[in-house]
Structure 1
Amino acid sequence: MLKYTLTAVLTLLLLGCYGLTYGQSYGTSAGLRLGNNDQGRMLGFTVQQRLKKGVTLEGIVQSDFSYNTTIHALLERHRPLLSKRLNYYYGAGASVGREESREKVSENMQIIRTYGNNTLGVDFIAGVELTLLGVNFSVDYKPNVNIVGRQPWYSGQVGISVRSVLVKGNKQNKKRRQKARMKRKRNSDGFFHNLIDSFKKKKP
C-alpha cells in the first residue's frame, strides 16, 4: 500500500503543475474514499465543505462491511503547495463507530477479540489534494486515538479519495459577496429610515 500511496502523491504533484492553468478550486465536493491499515481496508463516503478561505469541514462515513463502521468529522486547514489547485492540508476532529477490539493478554500470549464495540475517538489528518477539471483527488494519513471501546488504542489509516466538485469556489465566493452586499444595503436602508424617522419626530 505504501508504494501505491507514494505513486499517488507523486502523480498529484506532477498534475499540479498542469493544474496551474486548467485546475479549479471548490466550495463543496463529495465522493469515495478508500482507507487502508493493518486491520484491513475500508470503503467510505466523504464530503468536504469550505467554511471560509483555507478552512474546510470534512465528513467521512466508512465501513469494511464486516465488523467495523465509523463516522468522522474533521476541521481542516488548507494551504497552497504549487497553486491554489494543489494544496496540503492538516486538521483534527472526532469519530464514533462500532468496531472490532483486539486485546492482547501477555500472560498466555493470546488475543481476545470482541465485536460490536461502541467507540469514541480523536482523529488527526494530513494530506495532499489536487482539484483538476471538476474532480478533487487527495491522499491522506489519518491517525485515530481511541478513547472508549477499542484495543489497540492507536490506529493509523492511509486514505485515497476521489470527489466530484459540486460547487465551485468562485460560485461560493460570489454568493458570499452577494449576501454581504445585501446585508450592507439593509443596514444602510435601516440607518436612513431611522434618521428620517428621528427628523419627523422632532417636527412640532
Structure 2
Amino acid sequence: NLFWRVGSDSWVRCSTRHGHIKQIVVFKGRVFGMDSDRRIFKVHLTPQISIQELPVIESSMISKRNLSNAWLVACGDMLLLVGCRGSIVVSGVTFEVFRLDLSFEPALWFKVEKLEHWAIFISTDKRSQALSCMNPEIWGGRSNCIYCYNHESERWIALELGKPLQGDVFIFMGCDGKVQPMWVVPSMLSLCR
C-alpha cells in the first residue's frame, strides 16, 4: 500500500502484517480498509501513516466461503459489507448486506434486511470502490437496491436486497487488466466531520 502526502516528494509504503489492503473507504471522517480475508483496518494519516487492525468478531456469514465477492461501503451512518455468492451474477443470485457495529469491542457484523432509502452501486471489477446514494427516487432510481452494471446490455441492473435476480442476466465479477486507484484527499475528510 502506497500513500502520498501533499507537499511530499515521495510515496510512503505501509502495509499490514497480513498483506495488502484491497479496499479503502472514508467513514465518519476516518479511513477504513479491508484486506482479501475480510479483516478490517483503520488507516491513520496523521501524525504519521499507520495501519491498525480493528478487532472484529469473526463471522461465517461474511467469510469468503459464504460470499466470494464483497465490497466495503460507507452508507450514511453505517459501514457496510455488500456481498454475493459466486463470481457470476445470474438468475437466482441474491446480494447480502452486513453492518459493522463499532459500538462493541470487538466490533460485530449484523445482517441488514433493508437498506431503507439507500441504493448501493458496485462495479464488476472487484477492486473498484462501491458507492451509496440516498433517496435514489429523486433521479428515477429505486431504494433498497444494489445496482450493478451489465456490460452486455450496457445498462445498470437494480437487484432488490434479499430478492433473487430474475430474468436472463449474466454478469461476471472479476478484475480487468487496469489498476483501480483510490484517492483519499484532505477535503474528503473535512467534509465528513
Q: Whose RCO is larger (CA < 8 A, sep 6+)?
A: 1
Which structure has greater strand proportion? 1
TM-score, with structure 2 as normaliser: 0.24
Larger gyration radius, structure 1 or structure 2: 1
